[in-house]
Structures are given as C-alpha cells and as structure tokens.
Structure 1
C-alpha cells in the first residue's frame, strides 16, 4: 500500500514541525530569499511554504493536488500574510506564466512519472533568470546504513523490500540534470545536504512518530504489524534516554532559466 494524500487521516502527516536551520542556512547560501516570489510545488502541509515566507520572500504560493494537504498547509501558514495556496497538479499548476522568481519542490519528484513535464512547467512559471530548486533523495542518499542519526537506514535493513521499492521511484542525478537541460535550464549544479529533520526528546516520542508514519511515505508500504516490528527492532539501537537528532541526506538540484 502507499500513502493516500487525499485521506483525511493523513491531513497532518506532512505538517506539525518547522524547517530546521540546517535547511534555511543552506538556502541562504544559494540565494537571498528576500523579496523573491516563490512557488512551492507539492507543498504538502506547508512546512517549507512557511519557511520561505519567514526568510523574507515577498510572496509564496503553495501548490498541491490534495485539498486535504492544502487544508493542513493553511493551518501551518495561518499567520503568514504573504502566503496563498492553489490546488493544482505539479505538471499543470494553473499559475500564470513568468510569475515567480523561484520554483521550489521538496520530496516531490520521486512521486512523479514525468520529470520532463514537471521541469517544463517550472520553466513556464519562472521569469528569465529565475531559479528552480529541487530537493529529493537519490539512491545514493537512500542506501546509506542506519545510525542513531540516520534512521531511514534501519527501515531498509529490517525490510529489504523497501529498498527495492525505492529503486523504482528514486530519481537519478543524471536523469534530473538532463530533464532540466531539456526544459531550458542552465548553470545546473548539484549539492548534498544533511538536513536535520527533527529533534526528539527521547525514544518514546520517536516511536510514536514512526508508528504514525509521520512524513515518511515509505512506511505506508508496511502493514501495521510490520511497522510495530520495525519499531521494536529500532528500539534496541536507542538504549539512552537522551535526545535523538534525526538527519536525512538529500540531493539539491539548482538551475537557472535562460
């Protein structure tokens, strides 16, 4: 089974946390968000929509195909005056052409069957010189071993079939770069980012987050029984009652529209 982004019970699956400073510092190292118009495509629960607004973007539009996700995003950004939301497909957002300075997509493209269509839409939305910033995981990011900070590695060690599932959906760096070139992007560069996802006070808080499958679509491929078995296996890795810092490795592609 896979996550149903339209299901009411998953409304807060991609909300309820804030973008970490490790992410905001990286973004500021690549561009100054102040005054920029940003389209957050596949915005989910609005975590990064809000982050762009807080970094000084003049206007942020969150786009998602799920009304359920958009409702959660509106809650996340309820006190952000410069944020609006649009229900639209990543390949057909419905937004006006050349209406934004930055197109951002985090954890989106591995859900898409068509990279060319997405980057064509990104190029259509951007003004000349505008940037596409795409954040996702390649297999090189995914296949790292588990550790008390890189938790996802434990998922694949316990259930190897999940890694096979990832092989079928994770984008290859060369394919993403080629799709960007085809869409007319230039000065394409790739970065690796270790982003702190969340800091948990202790094991029990992490266990509850895992059991709820919060923000981890891969866990929807497990049955409830299998998920409990995974949590029991991981529990042995966290003997201490101290804080747990969860970090994920991401690949970031940045390209400029001609």
Structure 2
C-alpha cells in the first residue's frame, strides 16, 4: 500500500531534501529563468522545488497540492520565503487564474495520473502565452536501468521484480507524454534526460540507514520488513565504496511551450 498523502504523520515526508544543483542547472538550460516572474508547482508536496525556484530568482512561486497535510508541511518548510504561497487544488482543477504564469512545474506528478490529457489542458490554461511547462518523471525505461554504485534504485528491481512490475504499471511512455502535450496545444516539445543527484553520503552506513527510512515515501513501501532487510544486505554487498557515495536517479524531463 502506498503512502497516504493525507495522513498527518506523513506531513514532513517531502520536506527534508533540497533540490540538487544538477536539477537547477538543467532548468536554467531549458527555461529563460531570468525572465520568469510567476511560477507554479503543481503537486508541490513539501515545497522543496518551490524553494528552489525562488532561490533561482523567480519573483513569486505558488505551490498547489491536493493534500491539505502536504500543504501544511510545505508552509512550515517555506516559512522564510515571503514570495512563496500555497493553495489546495489538483492537476485537473488547480483553482489558479488562467493565462498568467510564466513557468509551470510538474515534478514526480504524472505517474499518479491516468488522465494526462486533462492534466495538460489545465496546464495550458494556466500558462500565459510564451509560458513554459516542465514535466519531470520516470519512464518505464528509466525505472529498469541496472543498479550500480550510483544508481542504487536499480538494485531494488533486480532483487524484487515485483517492484519493477509495479513501477511499469504506473509510468507513462515518453511517446504518450509528447503526443498528449501536442494534443493539448503545446509547441516546441523537447525531451531530455537527467541524472539528478538524490543524495551524497559520507559513508555506506548513511546510505543503508537512509534506505531503512525510505519506505514511507518510495516504492520500497511495497516490501515487508524481511524483504527490506534482504535488500539492504544485498546493496551492502553490491556497493564496494565505503565513503563519498553519490546516489543518482534517472529522470526524463519534457519541456513544452504555450504559443
């Protein structure tokens, strides 16, 4: 059973990380961020990427999430950012004014959504002419790349194929995403790949401890305690490095423009 985004105990599950410089650099390459005044993050979770956009110089950032609990955590996480605000809404009905935003971000959102067409139509409505849509998610191909000392996630699916099957079921192909963006009216659609740094661990113990705590907010919540321990022991054996371990996740990013 997946994480309950409405459960109080999970309020801070998506507030503990910072956007990595690899992500920031990629967005700067795709979007004229210096000309971005108003941005919105749909499915903002704990506000991590709202903070990143504000730090990049965006004047006002609005975070939208369907969970009141997530928004409560995001407000606390961003309490020192007066230019960030939050409101409850979803990807189909954001409650935002139309033809207003320069940039709309949907990161790690669309794998929760079956009706991509309605999602992208709402994004098109909200963006101003010339506005940019950035979608970031994993395709089936991204999910099943083999594990190595940086791509730790790959080991999950090698040891437990059932996790891979579940991942494939909820991920959209790049072709479908791009076709649906076109159908929604977007132009200049571009796909890029990003190896985003998830975390840097001083030593292997930190990595293994992090994996133990990751069950509430990742695919690992599908494993029972015995299976999780087996996975941790397997990764301990597979990773030879003992210090300065850099964990990366492979993502697909789609850029589209409203013309």
TM normalised by structure 2 equals: 0.95
Matched, 1:78 2:84: no
Q: Which runs of 5+ in 1 are unaligned?
A: none
Superposition deviation, residue 32 in structure 1: 2.7
Q: Which runs of 5+ in 2 are unaligned?
A: none
Per-residue displacement from partner, 1:41-72 (whole Å, max 9, x unpaired)? Answer: 10111111100000000110011111221122
Q: CA RMSD in A?
A: 1.4
Whether the 8 Å contact between 1:219 and 1:227 is mirrored in structure 2 is yes
Whether the 8 Å contact between 1:201 and 1:243 is mirrored in structure 2 is yes
Superposition deviation, residue 247 in structure 1: 0.5
Counterpart of 2:187 in structure 1 is: 186
Whether the 8 Å contact between 1:46 and 1:62 is mirrored in structure 2 is yes
Whether the 8 Å contact between 1:13 and 1:213 is mirrored in structure 2 is no
Matched, 1:250 2:251: yes
Whether the 8 Å contact between 1:49 and 1:60 is mirrored in structure 2 is yes
Counterpart of 2:30 in structure 1 is: 30
TM-aligned CA distance change 1:96 to 1:106, over 3 Å: same
Whether the 8 Å contact between 1:14 and 1:214 is mirrored in structure 2 is no
Per-residue displacement from partner, 1:98-141 (whole Å, max 9, x unpaired)? Answer: 12111101110011111001101100100011111000000111
Secondary structure of 1:97's aligned partner: coil
Matched, 1:5 2:5: yes
Secondary structure of 1:84's aligned partner: strand
Superposition deviation, residue 214 in structure 1: 6.3
TM-aligned CA distance change 1:24 to 1:215, over 3 Å: farther
Aligned mates of 1:122, 1:111 — CA distance in 2: 16
Aligned mates of 2:74, 2:225 — CA distance in 1: 27
Counterpart of 2:167 in structure 1 is: 166
Aligned mates of 1:82, 1:215 — CA distance in 2: 30
Counterpart of 2:125 in structure 1 is: 124
* Aligned ranges 1:59-74 → 2 under 5 Å: 59-74=60-75
Superposition deviation, residue 208 in structure 1: 2.1
Secondary structure of 1:168's aligned partner: helix
Aligned mates of 1:8, 1:200 — CA distance in 2: 29
